[in-house]
């Protein structure tokens, strides 16, 4: 990695983090105060972010992969000439691994096995499935989705990848790539669905009553994106009535999922508390992302995960 002769001045806020300081230095930067800095690495939530940034700042690296909360702050409107990048893709492996865990647990009937207190082999047999030969539609084949593809392919799954543009993804296991606008064409030929798309006004309740009714009684719906992409009431009804086989949710709407919510009691729902990307893994992955982006910024190369303000992510 080639570094500039003079390290790039980069501010780190809202708190000092040794791992991120090391990442900035390793990428060819030097940690400095915000005044006079050319870039800002923000390791926090929207609350507390500076109302105004110095004219010297050209680039801001945000901590989160999903940035819907940042649009509500007006940050991008206030600074139209600054390049903002998210952490999209930085946490892909951990989240994809969690998605695969939820999917396999559902297909292999693990919820019922884990609840069992007696030997019920014959009764369980019909509900134990396999991913070999199954068609898995990944809605949002970005960083997480592509990482999941590499995990599903060796298991023999047939993958339909859904992207915004529909540009073909050439990867083992991918049998088709479609544009998001063509999603209605695939539900009836899908065995399982993994949701990995960004949360935008256009994706709210992407999975609702109509979509659920087109899936199979054995289909599992996995959501590791944002809770708003699924109509929770419609999902709970579909699970209760057996319209689909089950759901694995690391995100919910509302979130946290309240005590007493119907999803807690449904035997075909697996709910995990948004821990697909736990803090100790997240910090390490974010530091790697920061190091790479600092190196790219220092050498004038294209940054990873630029935020497309017009698209909403």
Q: What is the CATH number of the domain that holds 209?
A: 3.40.50.720
For residues 37 and 97, membership in a common domain is answered with no
* pLDDT reading at 120 higher than 90: no
For residues 180 and 207, membership in a common domain is answered with yes
From 192, 226, 282, 291, the catalytic residue: 226
What predicted TM-score, i.e. pTM, was given to this entire model? 0.88
Owning domain of residue 227: 92-271
Rounded Cα distance, 207 and 249, in Å:
13
Q: Where residue 1 falls among pLDDT bands split at 50, 70, 90?
A: very low
Question: What share of the chain in percent tops pLDDT 70?
Answer: 99
Question: What share of the chain in percent tops pLDDT 90?
Answer: 90
Closest CA to 94 of 144, 42, 163: 144
Does an H or E element contain 239, and which? helix 232-241
How many C-beta neighbours within 10 Å does residue 311 have?
10
φ, ψ (nearest 5 deg) of residue 115: -85, -20
pLDDT of residue 214: 98
For residues 146 and 256, membership in a common domain is answered with yes
Does 305 map to a domain? no
User: In this predicted model, what pLDDT tens digit does every residue of 211-266 receive, in sequence order?
Assistant: 999 999 999 999 999 999 999 999 999 999 999 999 999 999 999 999 999 999 99
Task: Note if 274 is an active site residue.
Answer: yes
**Could you give the number of structural domains in the chain?**
2
User: In this predicted model, what pLDDT tens digit does every residue of 238-253 receive, in sequence order?
Assistant: 999 999 999 999 999 9
From 205, 255, 261, 296, the catalytic residue: 255
From 3, 79, 204, 274, the catalytic residue: 274
Does 313 map to a domain? no
How many C-beta neighbours within 10 Å does residue 138 have?
30
Task: Note if 120 is an active site residue.
Answer: no
Sign of CA dihedral 90, 94, 97, 99: negative
pLDDT of residue 4: 57
């Amino acid at each position: 990695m080639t570094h500039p002769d003079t390290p790039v001045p980069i501010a780190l806020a809202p708190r000092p983090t040794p791992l991120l300081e090391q990442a900035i230095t390793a990428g060819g930067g030097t940690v400095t105060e915000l005044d006079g800095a050319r870039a800002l690495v923000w390791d926090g939530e929207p609350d507390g972010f500076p109302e105004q940034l110095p004219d010297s700042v050209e680039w801001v690296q945000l901590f989160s992969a999903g940035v819907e909360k940042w649009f509500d702050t007006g940050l991008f409107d206030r600074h139209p000439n600054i390049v903002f990048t998210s952490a999209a893709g930085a946490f892909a492996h951990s989240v994809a691994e969690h998605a695969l865990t939820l999917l396999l647990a559902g297909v292999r009937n693990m919820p019922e096995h884990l609840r069992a207190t007696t030997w019920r082999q014959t009764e369980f047999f019909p509900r134990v499935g396999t991913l070999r030969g199954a068609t898995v539609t990944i809605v949002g084949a970005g960083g997480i989705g592509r990482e999941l593809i590499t995990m599903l392919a060796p298991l023999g799954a047939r993958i339909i990848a859904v992207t915004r543009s529909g540009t073909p993804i050439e990867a083992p296991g991918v049998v088709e790539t479609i544009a998001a606008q063509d999603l209605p064409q695939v539900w009836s030929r899908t065995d399982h669905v993994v949701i990995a798309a960004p949360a935008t006004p256009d994706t709210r309740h992407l999975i609702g009553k109509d979509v659920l009714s087109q899936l199979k009684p054995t289909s599992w719906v996995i959501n590791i994106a944002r809770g708003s992409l699924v109509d929770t009431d419609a999902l709970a009804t579909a699970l209760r009535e057996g319209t689909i086989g089950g759901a694995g949710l690391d995100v919910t709407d509302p979130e946290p999922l309240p005590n007493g919510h119907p999803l807690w009691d449904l035997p075909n729902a697996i709910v995990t508390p948004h821990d697909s990307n736990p803090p100790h893994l997240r910090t390490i992955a974010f530091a790697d992302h920061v190091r790479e982006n600092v190196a790219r910024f220092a050498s004038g190369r294209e940054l990873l995960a630029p935020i497309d303000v017009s698209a909403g992510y």
